[in-house]
Structure 1
Amino acid sequence: MAFNGSYTATLSPTASEGFDSSVLRNSISSLSSSASSRHSASRISRTYRQSSQLFLTRRLPEALSTVLPLITPATEENGETEPAPVARSSRSTRIKVWSLYLTILNAILELDPAEGKDAFGTQEWKALCSKVRDGDVWQEVVNNGYHGVEGEVDSDVVINLATLLLAHARTQEMNQKRLETYLAVSQEPNLDLSERLQDAQSPRLSSKSRRSTSKSKGTSGADTPRDLNARVKILELYTLHVLLRNNEWDYAREFISVSSVLDEERKEAFLQALQSLQEEQQEQERRETEEKQRQDDQLRKDLDEARQLRADNEARERKRIEEERARRAGSEVDYGIEDSTHGPVGSSKGRLTRSGSSALPKPKSSIANGKAVASSSLSARVTTIMSNLSVVIRQMTASLRTNPALLMRLVAFIAGLVIMFGNKRIRERITRTLAAGWDKVKTTAGMGVKVSYI
């Protein structure tokens, strides 16, 4: 009976039954959630590796379409929106996925426009370019990966976002605002280990309070040297790149001086880099100004030369026209063209017939002038012919001196002529040909004389 009673007491429902069932349900739910999380992590890792392989082989459309399901919220059948898989993953997985996504976007924007439109289509290509150049990709990362909380974005992802906008954004104003917002809402890393040692030694600190404390610190404010280096990198991008693009030199110098994250050594290095960049920009502006001034001077010089050349051409053309007019007027005087005071030849002959021998000296003087003009023109022609002949002889002499082969050809030609004229039959044939030609010339001249006489 005792055995049966004990057995009955063991199997009978008691107050502990509800506690055991709740623990069992919690265990089952935790096991199922851990199994689903492991399955989700495995799926994310597999998709990440596949997209990485596609990116390395430069298959950018396939790589983008593969990684998009990991960063895009899904809509369930009841209309509710489920967070993106990357939002429920670990920190390292989030950083890998978002870094891969931003790297793919950077490679897409570096494509040639024709190549990008051919690979993605015109509309999708323009949408991707606008999303990056307008800075909308930053808000997409915050909403889909970090539940819309700006300060929870991982520092490595912030660095990649700032670098992407620095390379492809139309202006750096959006990049500056985003970085300022992140630096304002995120927690600065604290490397003081005394507080954490006290928390670890305190026995009253429960695991629940520790979890709440770590959760309140946020993912971006972890107190590790890696997070400190990431914070310094963000400050470097903000002060030495983004602010300088917006011409905020004084504000960048002031921000570096009052920063609590940078130690004295880093502040000095940042200020020296800022001064070097400012001097380099001033030197570049000076070179650009000098180059522009040089181009303006060259353009002005070219315009002056063109204007002077045009004036010289116009003066040369006017001089040529004046010389042509003077030559034409001189030729009219040389040929004895009478002016309006003298009558035509017929009228002068009529006056000679009527008045007798008193008008005869005028034709004699005109004939004398004509002979003088003809003799002067003939002597000028003879002089021109002789000068041209002397020029030809000088040119032949120079060519024979510079080209001995031509001299040898001339000597060979003369020797051939001598040998040819040494033949009696050839001489007789040439004599008969010349006699026949001379007879034709005499006949033609006789006929011309007869026609002139008639």
Structure 2
Amino acid sequence: MAPNSSISSSLSSVISPLPPRPSQLSSSSHITKTYRQASQLFLTRRLPEALSTILPLVSPPPLDQPNQQYEPAPVIKASKSSRVKVWSLYLTILNAILELDSDEGKAAFGTQDWRALCTKVREGEVWEEVVRNGYHGVEGDVDADVVINLATILLAHAKSQTLNQKRLENWLAASRSSPPNLTSDHFSDPIPRRYSSPASGKRPPIASGTDTPHDLNSRIKILELYTLHVLLRNNEWDYAKEFISVSPILDEERREAFLQALQSLSDEAKREEELRREREEKIKKDIEEARRLRRENEERERRRMEEERSKREEGERVKTEDFGVSRPVSPVSVASSGSSGGGILKKGKKIGGGTKAGGERRVSASGGKPVVKGRVGMVLMNLRGLVESIAVAFKTNPYVLYRMLAFIVGLVLLFAKKKVRERVVKVLGDSWGKVKGTVGMGTKVSYI
């Protein structure tokens, strides 16, 4: 029993992990310190300082000299938990930056840098950056929590979900469980490599291996993002249902929950489509109704204008008939009337003055009544036309009424001054005196 115990103790000492090197400890402390500093800056909404603080951890050091050896990003040397925290914070900072207003983002980062950050996220370049700088270019080695953050930020800001779907399918195909690599590289490299490579087909084989309950939950979250969000955004409902139905990771309860959620999303999408169609139809009906009302108004206005024009023409015709303008007078009738008139005048002279006066009285008695009626009708028609024209003018241009009211108010204000009234009365008195003198002179001349 003693030899066996000694052998087991020696084996345990052989396979026990080696103590960390001082350089690794200093690097880990530096990463932890930088992560805390960037977290504090992010929590205080100092996004430019937070981004500049976290960038040296996720980017390889710049090559200052031509012969300088390439070094990976410091985040590669961190532990899994630290690596996940650093990448999650970096993606969270990028998401907060893209949620800023355009003017605010340009003011904080500058126009060129702001556009570069937006392009990197919206075009999906950030996924390639994470794989290249954090996982030696091996897409299947990306931690599940980092994949969740990448898929979420692309769902929120990417122009199209095609790249997001392709990346998730590649990760699901490349992250199948495989036996651990126990070569010497496994101890020197903090990220163990896998023998499997990304599948070349369009659809990924469904991953079935999980190491811990946390890995299982993370993989289920990735399946949720892939089937209930990314595939649906790309209008692949049937494939999402098929993927959920054959996934070995999901038990019956989770599979039923996924299918119910998919059905609810499908019903909601159909309702939204119906509502959108109803809104479009309502808008079309409103447009047609507006066009019909406009045509009716135009037709009503045209009929009204025709009626007004016909009324004006009828009034003008009545006025011309009252004065006899529409009856042409021929030269023969003028001559005959002149000759007959001459005979009558001669007869009147022969008969005497009484006969002439009686003839004039008969003519005035017989022809005076129609002439008076015509003049009264003409005055009434003129007044009616004036009123109609004023009404039309007020309808078409209400500012005429405002100008007339302003003119009347101006006259009232003008005559409110005593000096103006006295001057107007004086001018009217002088004018009336001149008129009276002229009329008196004319009366004297006619009497003479």
- The two structures have a TM-score, normalised by structure 1, of 0.69
Is 1:56 the equivalent of 2:43? yes
2:169 matched to which residue of 1? 180
Q: Which of 361, 372, 396 is the matching residue for 2:370? A: 372
Alpha-carbon distance in 2 for matches of 1:297, 1:452:
81
Provide, for residues 177-212 of structure 1, a one-character-per-residue CA deviation record: whole Å limited to 9, x for no partner.
Answer: 00000001102599xxxxx9xxxxxxxxx9989979
Alpha-carbon distance in 2 for matches of 1:313, 1:285:
42
1:327 matched to which residue of 2? 315
2:224 matched to which residue of 1? 236
Deviation at 1:349, TM superposition (A): 7.0
Alpha-carbon distance in 2 for matches of 1:209, 1:120:
41
Deviation at 1:301, TM superposition (A): 0.4
Deviation at 1:112, TM superposition (A): 1.0
1:389 matched to which residue of 2? none
Q: Which of 240, 262, 265 is the matching residue for 1:277? A: 265
Alpha-carbon distance in 1 for matches of 2:379, 2:83:
104
Is 1:311 the equivalent of 2:317? no
- The answer to whether the 8 Å contact 2:39/2:89 transfers is yes
Q: Which of 80, 89, 93 is the matching residue for 1:91? A: 80
Amino acid in structure 2 at the alignment position of 1:103: T
Alpha-carbon distance in 2 for matches of 1:290, 1:68:
50
Q: In percent, how many aligned pairs have the same letter? A: 51
Deviation at 1:152, TM superposition (A): 0.6
Is 1:299 the equivalent of 2:287? yes
For 1:43-442, what aligned pairs fall within 5 Å after superposition? Answer: 43-76=30-63, 77=65, 78-187=67-176, 215=192, 223-337=211-325, 339-342=327-330, 350-352=338-340, 356=344, 368-375=366-373, 378=376
Is 1:36 the equivalent of 2:34? no
SS in 2 for 1:337: coil
Alpha-carbon distance in 2 for matches of 1:320, 1:359:
53
Alpha-carbon distance in 2 for matches of 1:346, 1:450:
36
Distance 1:343 1:87, change over 3 A: farther
- The answer to whether the 8 Å contact 2:155/2:161 transfers is yes
- The answer to whether the 8 Å contact 1:239/1:252 transfers is yes
Alpha-carbon distance in 2 for matches of 1:319, 1:120:
70
Distance 1:355 1:99, change over 3 A: same
Alpha-carbon distance in 1 for matches of 2:133, 2:23:
20
Deviation at 1:313, TM superposition (A): 0.4
Provide, for residues 392-450 of structure 1, a one-character-per-residue CA deviation record: whole Å limited to 9, x for no partner.
Answer: xxxxxxxxxxxxxxxxxxxxxxxxxxxxxxxxxxxxxxxxxxxxxx9999878655655
SS in 2 for 1:74: coil
Deviation at 1:244, TM superposition (A): 0.3
- The answer to whether the 8 Å contact 1:189/1:223 transfers is no
Deviation at 1:79, TM superposition (A): 3.2
Alpha-carbon distance in 2 for matches of 1:102, 1:451:
115
Provide, for residues 285-326 of structure 1, a one-character-per-residue CA deviation record: whole Å limited to 9, x for no partner.
Answer: 001100110110010000000011001101111111111111
Deviation at 1:38, TM superposition (A): 1.1
Deviates more, 1:368-377 or 1:233-242: 368-377
Distance 1:378 1:232, change over 3 A: same
- The answer to whether the 8 Å contact 2:60/2:71 transfers is yes
Alpha-carbon distance in 1 for matches of 2:178, 2:363:
124
Number of aligned positions between the proteins: 355
- The answer to whether the 8 Å contact 1:189/1:222 transfers is no
Amino acid in structure 2 at the alignment position of 1:170: K
Distance 1:442 1:75, change over 3 A: closer
2:408 matched to which residue of 1? none
Alpha-carbon distance in 2 for matches of 1:325, 1:363:
36
Provide, for residues 232-288 of structure 1, a one-character-per-residue CA deviation record: whole Å limited to 9, x for no partner.
Answer: 000000000000000000000000000011111110000000000000000000011
Deviation at 1:46, TM superposition (A): 1.4
Alpha-carbon distance in 1 for matches of 2:102, 2:234:
27
SS in 2 for 1:82: coil
- The answer to whether the 8 Å contact 1:352/1:359 transfers is no
RMSD: 3.9
Amino acid in structure 1 at the alignment position of 2:314: A
- The answer to whether the 8 Å contact 2:186/2:193 transfers is no
Deviation at 1:337, TM superposition (A): 2.4
SS in 2 for 1:138: helix
Distance 1:376 1:350, change over 3 A: closer
Distance 1:254 1:352, change over 3 A: same
Alpha-carbon distance in 2 for matches of 1:358, 1:229:
135
Alpha-carbon distance in 2 for matches of 1:364, 1:181:
122
Deviation at 1:346, TM superposition (A): 8.4
Task: For structure 1, list consecutive stretches of 5 or more residues without a partner in the other structure.
Answer: 1-29, 191-195, 197-205, 386-437
Deviation at 1:353, TM superposition (A): 5.5
Distance 1:82 1:215, change over 3 A: closer
Task: For structure 2, list consecutive stretches of 5 or more residues without a partner in the other structure.
Answer: 1-17, 196-206, 349-358, 384-431
Distance 1:448 1:121, change over 3 A: farther
Deviation at 1:368, TM superposition (A): 3.7
> Rg: which structure is higher?
1
- The answer to whether the 8 Å contact 1:71/1:85 transfers is yes
